[in-house]
Amino acid sequence: MIKLPVYILFVFLLFTGAQARAVDYLLPDLDGQMQSLEQYRGKWLIVNYWATWCKTCMKELPDLVATYNENRDNDIVVVGINFESISQDSLRGFVKEKAIPYPVLMSKPIPSTPLGRVFALPTTYIIDPKGKLIAGQVGLVSQQHLTDYISEKRISEDYVSLAGH
């Protein structure tokens, strides 16, 4: 049974393709190397759009860092996509100053991304291990809500696969 706060947190399912796949979304990392979200297939992927000027983004940062740190050897990955016009050097300095340990990619603000529209910051999407975009949230997320949501999805996936046998 889904816990009510977790359900409410991810009620915002993607307007443009809740059943879409995480396409080969290529963006530069802090060293200018192109990275793809496809490289994380087989893991739960939390994609967080944020900006350095966004106070709510900074408020949720400790939860994203904790989620990453506690799951880096498991099957949950956090990737930050900086969604502003900022120089690579400035962003690299900001990431170092804030001790952001997870991968950070760069994107200029655009009306629509391969994952869906980003109406406001922060915006977080969750992609399942099969590469299917399953949820999104505009606004603040917490470590507890993210891990509870993924745990609930794991249970329902296990239940579905067990029921099929």
Q: Which domains does the chain have, with CATH numbers?
A: 10-151 (3.40.30.10)
Rounded-to-integer distance, Cα 92 and Cα 45, Å: 22
pLDDT in tens, the chain (165 residues): 444 444 434 444 433 344 445 557 899 999 999 999 999 999 999 999 999 999 999 999 999 999 999 998 889 999 999 999 999 999 999 999 999 999 999 999 998 899 989 999 999 999 999 999 999 999 999 999 999 999 998 887 664 443 443
Q: What is the DSSP string of the chain?
A: ---HHHHHHT----TTTTT-B----EEEBTTS-EEEGGGGTTSEEEEEEE-TT-HHHHHHHHHHHHHHHHHTTTTEEEEEEEES---HHHHHHHHHHTT--S-EEEE---SEETTEE--SSSEEEEE-TTSBEEEEEES---HHHHHHHHHHHHHHHHHHHHHT-
Contact 76, 46 (CB under 8 A): yes
pLDDT at residue number 51: 98
pLDDT at residue number 154: 82
